[in-house]
């Protein structure tokens, strides 16, 4: 438990190599050391500029309390270093775009970027919210969740009831093609499909205020209240 509560707890959904949208989003949110910024994973793959994303996240660590979670795409990338079959699978699921952004093969990815991927957390929780990349088993504490639940299971496969902790779950992984936040009260999904023409979303989980940016540089913000959305 934090001795000093952050001014804001801001959560950012799946980035997937969308460095332009990330830059615009950070400029909108203006995070500071008083804020805790939780990232839901999947920084790499599919979008055009994974390297630029990680460089921005390194800088974001110097101005906010950054809590990066690991996504299934980071798992695939790290396993690709050790298993040929994993490398082949990863390349088909967006890894080719990641390597292109680094201008070479796996050896072109800087060691500090690999350290960033390895050091991401599998989950995070506060007094009121729990944060995972993909999904959760409602009957188990986060420390006992399976890899399948935390990193791979889409909400379209299993839409869970409230977690046994009573906390609101904030997840990514299941893209929302309409670019809108999926909110059913006990669960909020912030993967708003940025890499495929949607939006990159950040949300203050305490107030419901959210910010969105796309790869074309368009930005917008609004407020969520009881599952309803109001755009400013």
Which domains, and CATH codes, for the chain? 8-134+168-231 (3.60.21.10)
Check residue 65 and give its pLDDT: 96
The sign of the torsion formed by the CA atoms of 34, 73, 99, 78 equals positive
Q: Where are the alpha helices (DSSP H) in 140-224?
A: 147
pLDDT reported for residue 224: 84
Classify residue 63 as exposed, middle or buried by CB count within 10 Å of its CB (0-12, 13-18, 19+): middle
Any residues with CB less than 8 A from the CB of 27 and at least 6 apart, and which? none
HSE, side-chain direction, 13 A CA sphere, residue 130: 24
pLDDT in tens, the chain (232 residues): 455 678 999 999 999 999 999 999 999 999 999 999 999 999 999 999 999 999 999 999 999 999 999 999 999 999 999 999 999 999 999 999 999 999 999 999 999 999 999 999 999 999 999 999 999 999 999 999 999 999 999 999 999 999 999 999 999 999 999 999 999 999 999 999 999 999 999 999 999 999 999 999 999 999 987 666 667 6
pTM above 0.85, yes or no: yes
* Distance in angstroms (rounded) separating the CA atoms of residues 175 and 155: 9
């Amino acid at each position: 438990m934090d001795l000093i509560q952050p001014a804001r707890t801001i959560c950012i959904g799946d980035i997937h190599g969308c460095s332009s949208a990330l830059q615009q989003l950070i400029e909108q949110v203006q995070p500071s050391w008083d804020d805790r910024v939780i990232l839901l994973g999947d920084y790499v793959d599919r979008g055009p500029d994974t390297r630029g994303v990680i460089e921005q996240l390194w800088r974001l660590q110097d101005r906010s309390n950054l809590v990066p979670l690991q996504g299934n795409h980071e798992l695939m990338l790290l396993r690709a270093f050790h298993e040929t079959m994993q490398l082949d699978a990863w390349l088909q699921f967006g890894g080719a775009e990641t390597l292109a952004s680094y201008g070479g093969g796996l050896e072109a990815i800087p060691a500090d970027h690999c350290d960033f991927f390895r050091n991401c957390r599998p989950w995070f929780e506060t007094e009121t919210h729990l944060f995972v990349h993909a999904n959760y088993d409602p009957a188990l504490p986060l420390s006992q969740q399976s890899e399948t639940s935390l990193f791979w299971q889409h909400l379209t496969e299993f839409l869970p009831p409230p977690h046994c902790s009573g906390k609101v779950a904030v997840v990514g992984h299941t893209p929302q093609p309409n670019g809108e936040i999926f909110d059913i009260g006990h669960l909020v999904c912030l993967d708003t499909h940025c890499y495929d023409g949607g939006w990159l979303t950040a949300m203050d989980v305490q107030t419901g205020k959210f910010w969105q940016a796309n790869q074309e540089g368009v930005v917008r913000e609004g407020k969520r209240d009881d599952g309803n959305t109001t755009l400013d």
